[in-house]
Amino acid sequence: MEKKIEKIQNEMAAIFADPMFAYINESTTRKMSEVVRDVFPDVTRNEIAACLSMYWEKEDTPESLYKKLMASKVA
């Protein structure tokens, strides 16, 4: 079981080591999660993760993500 967990952790580390995902780190994830909470105050942790995976793109700023989320909330 431990080997399987270690293998998965290594695979995930390799994926996130890709420069394509360099914008995803603890600081940016925290900021973008706060944006989601501002738009959807009663959101759960899993819902935040789903929302970020659907809407957050590399070139987004907190302000641009906020606008996207507000537009999706109205739609």
Tokens coding 57: 């793109």
The total number of structural domains in the chain stands at 1
The pLDDT value recorded for residue 73 is 85
The pLDDT value recorded for residue 54 is 94
Tokens coding 59: 């070139």
- Residue-wise pLDDT tens for the chain (75 aa)? 788 889 988 887 887 777 888 888 889 999 999 999 999 999 999 999 999 999 999 999 999 999 999 999 886
The pLDDT value recorded for residue 38 is 97
Distance CA 53, CA 23 (A): 13
Expressed as residue numbers, the domain containing 66 is 2-74
